[in-house]
Structure 1
């Protein structure tokens, strides 16, 4: 197995090399493979996942998997490429001209919704970060860092104008990530401790509203 390249790259599989317009069956098979891989990677991590596991989850043969992708790393990188746009969107939606408390609480809600609706994607991201971001590093530098700097500057301006209470903007965002993504990354624990999913989700929303509203109110 080749070592991770340490960078994200443009994916060109053998199928796309044969035809510029993949057939519906090819598109469907790629989608099935990626969904199966997301399930395997989110539960086993990159190192623990194998092509055999992905093939079994997809209901396809291993040679069929390799027809569409060159190997495990290419599948993983494809998923990470798809994930980053989705991952950054909630932070991009924070409006610098809006009501500061409403904008930040809205961001909390979007992150919590993402954790509830996309738990596998959250765990895929978490596993990659825990390994030192060998494949996602460039996206963190080129995508997340400029957006993070831009939005922490917005939060700082809100604090300087007295619209929200002063705190550390960077650690404010870190705390939002930690408290919302917990419900995806530690779902097995949360489901045991609070088995009622509706009550768990509603309770999380109410509690996070309370703590961040109190923190932000001047």
Structure 2
């Protein structure tokens, strides 16, 4: 008899807890080793479970990876989705910048998981990028372009502004090991990073 959970039946609390436990362990392993370097054995060990038990909840390493990426994508794009036409352009974009920086501070594993996927050519997230991120990106670029044309923002390229925001803020997560060596006082380093990033983008955006 197949003991795999019935997808039509609501998972029990224990099943939900074990799925979260596996995903949390997998996030550690994937963010450190990448998809190719990660193994089900390593994920099971990190979760404190047997490999067969992990496979009871997820049928493959790829299924776990895609589950993590799908959840992360929604979290990652939500601050961009929140940019609205009725907001003050400079303050709205600065709030977005600082939210992205805070996400790098609190979610470094998630940032590295996504970065590793992109560096490999986005083999599992390619369709998600095309169907989900690209239309949203185009809409927000049009919004920013409208702000620029109305004189409410400095003359900037909307697409490269967004990519620069991502590059600057996610650096602190994706290169965390290097940042830790160069700025060993973590609390002071983050305070200085916030001041610098705020000043840099505010100067860039202000008409």
Q: TM-score, normalised by structure 1?
A: 0.91
1:95 matched to 2:84? The reply is yes
1:51 matched to 2:40? The reply is yes
Whether contact under 8 Å (1:15, 1:22) holds in the other structure is: no
Partner Cα distance (1:169, 1:72) in 2:
37
1:148 matched to 2:126? The reply is no
Partner Cα distance (2:148, 2:132) in 1:
25
Deviations 1:151-170 (A, max 9, x none): 11011011101111111110
Q: TM-score, normalised by structure 2?
A: 0.96
Partner Cα distance (2:7, 2:32) in 1:
33
What SS does the aligned partner of 1:22 have?
coil
Deviations 1:36-68 (A, max 9, x none): 000000000000000010011000011111111
Alignment correspondent of 1:176: 165
Deviations 1:162-203 (A, max 9, x none): 111111110000100000001100000001110111111111
Alignment correspondent of 1:195: 184
What SS does the aligned partner of 2:99 have?
helix
Cα RMSD between the aligned structures?
1.4
Q: What is the CA-CA distance between 1:18 and the residue it aligns to?
A: 7.1
Alignment correspondent of 1:67: 56
Partner Cα distance (1:139, 1:16) in 2:
26
Which of 126, 133, 137 matches 2:126?
137
Partner Cα distance (2:8, 2:142) in 1:
46
Q: What is the CA-CA distance between 1:14 and the residue it aligns to?
A: 6.3
**CA distance change for structure 1 residues 74 and 14 in 2, over 3 Å: closer, same or farther?**
farther
Partner Cα distance (2:119, 2:12) in 1:
37
Number of residue pairs matched? Answer: 206
**CA distance change for structure 1 residues 172 and 61 in 2, over 3 Å: closer, same or farther?**
same
1:23-34 to structure 2, matched below 5 A, reads: 23-34=12-23
Partner Cα distance (1:121, 1:53) in 2:
18
Deviations 1:137-164 (A, max 9, x none): 1110111111100111011011101111
What SS does the aligned partner of 2:121 have?
coil
Gaps of 5+ in 2: none
Deviations 1:80-123 (A, max 9, x none): 11111101101011122111110111000110011111111100
